Amino acid sequence: MMNLWIVALMMFLFGNLIFVSKHKHLLIVLMSLEFIVLSIFFFMLMLLSMIKYDLYILMIFLVFSVCEGVLGLSILVSIIRFYGNDYLQSFNLI
């Protein structure tokens, strides 16, 4: 059981490392955010299974994470159509 906690923690740390270091393309940033959400889901699954709690909260978490992913992809598509690429440095934030 301890190995699963270490795997989930490593997933979370690698997702954060990729999010911080690879911030050139918006798609890589979105994929690292989804990897972080997946590791949080894994944490919650292990924790709720360990205390023998209902797992319905995980379905709500999955619904919100899917909505977050769809919103990120729709923003990515609109940015690519408007700017022609997904480089974060080419966006005008003003």
The domain ranges of the chain are 2-90
pTM reported for the whole predicted model: 0.84
Contact 73, 86 (CB under 8 A): no
What are 69's two structure tokens? 């992913």
pLDDT tens-place string over residues 37-76: 999 999 999 999 999 888 899 999 999 999 999 999 998 8
What is the mean pLDDT of the segment spanning 10-20? 92
Contact 58, 44 (CB under 8 A): yes
CATH architecture observed for domain 2-90: Orthogonal Bundle (1.10)
d(CA 80, CA 52): 45
Has residue 16 got a pLDDT over 90?
yes
d(CA 8, CA 16): 12
